[in-house]
Amino acid sequence: MKVDVRSVATHSASLAWVALRSFMGTLVVLTLAGIVLAGLSYYFLREHHWIYGVIAVAVALIESVTTGFILGAKRAVVIAVAHGLGSLRLGRSLVRLVFARMLGVVGAEEMGGRGGRITRGLERLPLGQAEELLSGAVQDLTGDAAQGGWVRRKIQGRLLEAVRKYTLARFREERAKYGGIDLRKVSEELEQTVDDALVRKVRGGLRLWTALVIIGLPSVVAVQTWIIILLLHSKG
């Protein structure tokens, strides 16, 4: 099946809605969490002048909303990328695009000679040349896909970068085993594995960030409330 960058961009446009829902959901949840944390902070400061409670509430809300924006933006892109890889199999499409560019460059370098043998899978490329071709292909595709809004560009860029890193790792494994890179062989293998592998990777990173926020935000609010109480007690 022939795949071009426009088809990937079309899917990226539909993924923008997935990203928006994730962002808004994260922002709302953390804002509500901030309201609860702010209320608890005010409760522990209720015995002191009301201004200290108001300050603690304001700081807790600012921290929660800010964290919601940051984590929401990260989750929006990651969830959209994971959806594209898992449901739409965009990783496989991008692998085809990247390797089509790479094989096209190699085939054009020496028509009928060494380049022709490489494109037919009869000769292996050195790792350095394969890395250079990979970077050039991804850069070209990034330029082709640089259309639409920020969310679309971010999703497309994240997808391409994920494919680049995974492909580069596979190149290094191939060089370690065989001393060179068989582009066609690696392309066929990656098309079968890239989506599932990248979904696991991006979701794993997102779980780590989410866990840090779940633990970190209440801890920060608790510590700053405790510090305020200590300062007030020290003043007598």
Got the DSSP string for 78-126? HHHHHHHHHTS-HHHHHHHHHHHHHHHHHHHHSTTSHHHHHHTTSSPBP
pLDDT of residue 16: 83
Q: What would the two tokens of residue 3 be?
A: 């795949």
8 A C-beta contact, residue 3 and residue 96 = yes
Domain that holds residue 89: 5-234
Of 47, 44, 76, 74, residue with least CA distance to 60: 44
Specify the 3-state DSSP secondary structure of 158.
Answer: helix
pTM: 0.73
pLDDT of residue 77: 87
Specify the 3-state DSSP secondary structure of 3.
Answer: coil
Q: Could you list the pLDDT tens digit for every one of the 236 residues in the chain?
A: 344 555 556 676 678 888 899 999 999 999 999 999 999 999 999 888 889 999 999 999 999 999 999 999 999 989 988 888 888 888 898 899 899 988 887 655 554 444 555 555 546 889 999 999 999 988 888 776 556 567 677 788 888 888 999 999 999 999 999 999 999 999 999 999 999 988 988 888 889 999 999 999 999 999 999 999 998 888 75
pLDDT of residue 111: 44
Domain count, the chain: 1
CA distances from 13 to 198, 199, 210 (A): 20, 19, 25
8 A C-beta contact, residue 132 and residue 105 = no
Pairwise CA distance, residues 150 & 129, whole Å = 32
pLDDT of residue 112: 46
